[in-house]
Amino acid sequence: MPLYLSFFGISFALALILTPFIRKLALKSGQVAIPRDNRWHRKETALLGGVGIFSSIIITWLSGALWAGWSTFGQPYLPMVLCASGIFLLGLADDIFNMDPQHKLAGQVILTAILLFFGFRLGWTDYKTLDLVFSILWIVGITNAFNLLDNMDGLSCGIAFIAGAFLFLYHYLNPSPDTFSGPGLLLLSTYLGSILGFLVYNFNPASIFMGDAGSLFIGFVLACLAMTGTTSAAGGETSFFHLLSVILIPVLILFIPILDTGFVSLMRKLFRRPISQGGRDHSSHRLVAIGFSEKKAVLVLYAFSIVSGLLALAINRLNVGTSAVLIVLYLLFILFFWIYLAKVKVYSEKSIIDHPSGMMTPLIIEMTYRRRLFEVLLDLVLITVAYYTAYLLRFEGDPGLNFDFFLKSLPIVIACQILFFFLFGVYRGVWENTSVRDLISYGKAITAGTIAPILLLLFLYRFYSFSRAVFVIYWGLMLMLVSLTRLSFRLLEEGIRRGNEKGKPVLVYGAGFGGQILLKEIETNKTLSMTIKGFMDDNRDIQRKRVRGYPVLGGIHDLEKILREQPVKEIIISFRENSADKRREIKKLLENLGAEVDVREMKLTIS
């Protein structure tokens, strides 16, 4: 570890020193990113930051390999470094001369093919031709994923550092018998130092961009390193679960670039936009659109990348069942979060969901959107996860021989639970409007769906060797999972709104029914541009308590104290009766206090 830390520090220092000089050179030579309608930055910013990344990595790696022993630490990765240098020159040419996308892609495929000739390829299957195709798709795909991810200050560079750090930890904690352990970790340490040194200047607000020279280069290097040392033994000697973990580890480490690229490609296809066309429709842009600052949006994606990396590390530390449950739950959260982002309006075009065209599109929409097939499939996953997790918890992480009883009873549990979901009207609800009444129906359906399998198993097998505790645990887990998924959009909306409060701070006078109607209107109507700081109410029984998550700060006699503690600009009276008298009373009190606070009344009109 001291060897790797030393070269990490050298590369970091070189990037810190070189980047300011490259920034001055770029500004003098006119190599700047000019703001455009389909780009995010708002001011001219120096390009060529990739030169600093490339130079610090190459200088440090060459020095380290020569010092540690060229035949061991340098020669094995020389073909990869040379091809990566070609990718860097290709990106640099694009930054300077603005190449056509197809020419740039052709260059990437050629350089990747040259690399594969030297033996750098995936080993996921027993078929070398198939592995070669997967290798080309992997390297070119990840390379362009980081290029597409470079759409906000510090995003692509930061994700590359996080992914590289987890890749380093994975190989350091799980040394492989091939050449990766020493030479690969040396190259990774120089890569991480250079990326972090550049990130100092690239994080929001960025003073320099790395351009295609940098984004293509860091993506190519990380794609190659992620597939090196993670090959599976061929010839059927490896179990299916081991092969799956071999594939999952690099995918999880690089999950956010893969996810963002797939998400943007799908959304552009749905809205009939060219996939190669730039735009402000990436995950980061949508996070800003729902209320996050640019810096917070980047940090949110950093957090997702960290969780993905932790799951990759956990695969080799946990048993197969526990790993599978954690990954499925994480992917479900990802699914709902990105569906929420997909609902953000960023295109002027109509989607094929609203205006279907073609032969297959109406059929797909009919099956998944109108007929609720998605909900049934989701519940199928939730039932399986909840029931298997119940076995894991009951038998302390290892069902052992009880796994056969799980497999025998799972079809019965699925059939009963889906049936009672249908009978209790679970599939007739609207997710965005899920309420406590709906949760009660879910509870009834889950309870019936838990009792029915017990009775059937009692009738069929006299409940022999089946655990009653499993069904109790299943009931609790299923209730939690179904409630969270159905409330997902409301919970996300609430969490995002609370974390990104903007607008005029207001107090609602009256915490009763009228006040709660007003609260709902302010929360959902963004054109009002208001942020609720809490309620005022003269009822002492609810003062210092919370209504709908907001504090009841006091009554009219506490107004002076409330204004000292809260930066309130407006008070809205929600009374249905005598609101005009109360308004005059408050305005007079505010005048006596010398407070510049507006006072308005809520009016509910039905015409």
**What residue numbers bound the domain in which 585 lies?**
502-601
Does residue 449 form part of some domain?
yes
The band of 233, judged by pLDDT with boundaries at 50, 70 and 90, is: very low
Question: How many domains does the chain contain in total?
Answer: 3
- What was the pLDDT predicted at 573? 87
In a domain, 304, yes or no: yes
In a domain, 351, yes or no: no
In terms of domains, do 338 and 376 share one?
no
**Of 342, 364, 391, the domain-final residue:** 342
Averaged over 212-239, what is the pLDDT?
A: 74
Section 40-49 average pLDDT: 80
Burial of 139 (0-12, 13-18, 19+ CB in 10 A): buried
pLDDT tens digits, 407-428: 999 999 999 999 999 999 888 7
Name residue, tokens 């190459």. Answer: 58
Residues 257 and 322 both lie in one domain: yes
Average pLDDT over residues 259-286: 84
User: Is residue 221 located within the same domain as residue 323?
Assistant: yes
570 forms bridges with which residues in the sheet? 506, 598
**In terms of Cα–Cα distance, which of 137, 128, 120 is closest to 81?**
120
pLDDT score of 154? 93
Distance (Å) of CA 130 to CA 135, 137, 220, 242 = 9, 11, 20, 19
Claim to verify: residue 295 and residue 156 sit in the same structural domain? yes
The top-scoring range by mean pLDDT among 244-258, 278-292, 404-418, 419-433 is: 404-418
Residue 497 lies in a domain: no
How would DSSP label each residue in 94-120? HHHH---HHHHHHHHHHHHHHHHHTT-
- Co-location of 561 and 513 in the same domain: yes
Inside any domain, residue 590? yes
Could you tell me if 316 and 401 lie in one domain?
no
